[in-house]
């Protein structure tokens, strides 16, 4: 079995090396295509003091003189951290919402005559929340262990929600992690959120991907209008490193506030089983605030390969 696996990996490596130039010349999509791993600039953003965390590296990949930060350019600063709903690294481990002191959550003011809204967010793995273009909070745990957060903000309707969500990677620039007995296995993402004014994540939200990896064969990529599709691309993990491709699209400078990006493709809904949250207390201890509230897990069309997804929604 091991011999067959090694032959399979070597065959794939040979195929990729032989067809790399041809594949790049044949690609006609809108993405920047970059082969191989990233140059690591930060080995990890976070280390769990009370448990085990995966490395959360920041790397850079170059294409035609342009730098792409992987898995994403983030505003990871303590002054912007969202309050923990559940985080074992900080020993915040309530068994239910009844054990959470919601009155201690600071209120970020957008409109002084607005409504105070409470939001509950569970992201796989990292999020940044913007309301009317203003940064409200960022996830204090970039990768693992899984956590959840609560925020409060004061705003008038209508208002816009923008959320950046990153499926972090252990192998920088390769979109993979050591998982499921494979050293290079693609991770998967997911976002679910609910707000006290009745707003919740579902397929009415807009979603667009800006970083996709790993891609073994560029022929599996399809673009239809604004849809960036990789439905037929291989999502299997590998035991050994081989050169793979990553897809990068330029993130619009004002994506958090420009109304034109509300027309991005609709988000795709996923079930709790598809996301795999049954063993995650950060979610299950507050399930009534998520699927129990009517919210759905959402992502772009490929929850495994799309690693940076931007979401937009207008609350009317």
* pLDDT of 31 over the 80 cut: yes
State the pLDDT confidence band at 23, using cuts at 50, 70 and 90: low
What is the tally of structural domains in the chain? 1
What whole-number distance in Å separates Cα of residue 230 and Cα of residue 307? 12
Cβ distance 209 to 309 under 8 Å? Answer: yes
Q: What is the mean pLDDT of residues 51-72?
A: 95
Expressed as residue numbers, the domain containing 236 is: 2-315
Of 166-170, 179-183, 213-217, 221-225, least confident by mean pLDDT is 179-183
Q: Which bin fits 80, alpha (ψ -120 to 50), beta or left (φ > 0)?
A: alpha
Q: What is the mean pLDDT of residues 40-67?
A: 95
* pLDDT of 22 over the 70 cut: no
Q: Across the chain, what does the average pLDDT equal?
A: 93
State the pLDDT confidence band at 21, using cuts at 50, 70 and 90: low
State the pLDDT confidence band at 17, using cuts at 50, 70 and 90: very low
- Residue (of 221, 127, 234, 247) closest to 184 by Cα position: 234
Per-residue model confidence (pLDDT) at position 28? 85
**SS3 for 289?**
helix
Cβ distance 313 to 218 under 8 Å? Answer: no
Per-residue model confidence (pLDDT) at position 75? 97
Distances (CA, A) of 173 to 21, 38, 40, 61, 184: 20, 5, 9, 7, 12
pLDDT digits (tens, 9 = 90+) for 116-170: 999 999 999 999 999 999 999 999 999 999 999 999 999 999 999 999 999 999 9
């Amino acid at each position: 079995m091991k011999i067959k696996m090694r032959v399979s990996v070597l065959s794939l490596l040979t195929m990729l090396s032989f067809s790399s130039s041809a594949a790049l010349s044949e690609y006609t999509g809108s993405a920047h295509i970059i082969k191989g791993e990233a140059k690591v600039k930060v080995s990890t953003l976070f280390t769990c003091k009370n448990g085990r965390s995966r490395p959360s590296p920041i790397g850079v990949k170059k294409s035609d003189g342009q730098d792409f930060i992987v898995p994403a350019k983030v505003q990871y600063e303590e002054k912007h951290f969202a309050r923990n709903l559940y985080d074992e690294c900080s020993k915040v481990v309530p068994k239910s919402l009844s054990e959470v002191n919601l009155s201690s959550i600071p209120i970020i003011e957008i409109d002084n005559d607005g409504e105070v809204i409470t939001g509950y967010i569970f992201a796989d793995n990292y999020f940044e929340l913007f309301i009317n273009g203003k940064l409200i909070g960022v996830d204090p745990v970039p990768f693992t262990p899984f956590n959840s957060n609560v925020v409060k903000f004061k705003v008038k309707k209508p208002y816009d929600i923008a959320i950046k969500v990153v499926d972090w990677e252990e192998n920088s620039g390769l979109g993979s992690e050591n998982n499921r007995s494979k050293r290079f296995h693609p991770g998967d993402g997911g976002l679910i959120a609910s707000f006290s004014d009745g707003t919740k994540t579902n397929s009415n939200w807009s979603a667009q991907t800006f970083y996709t990896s790993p891609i073994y064969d560029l022929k599996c990529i399809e673009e239809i209008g604004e849809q960036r599709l990789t439905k037929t691309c291989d999502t299997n993990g590998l035991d050994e490193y081989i050169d793979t491709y990553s897809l990068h699209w330029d993130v619009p400078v004002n994506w958090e506030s420009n109304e034109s990006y509300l027309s991005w493709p609709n988000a795709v809904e996923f079930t709790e089983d598809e996301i795999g949250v049954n063993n995650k207390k950060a979610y299950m201890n507050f399930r009534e605030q998520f699927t129990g509230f009517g919210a759905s897990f959402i992502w772009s069309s490929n929850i495994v390969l799309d690693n940076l997804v931007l979401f937009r929604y207008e609350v009317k």
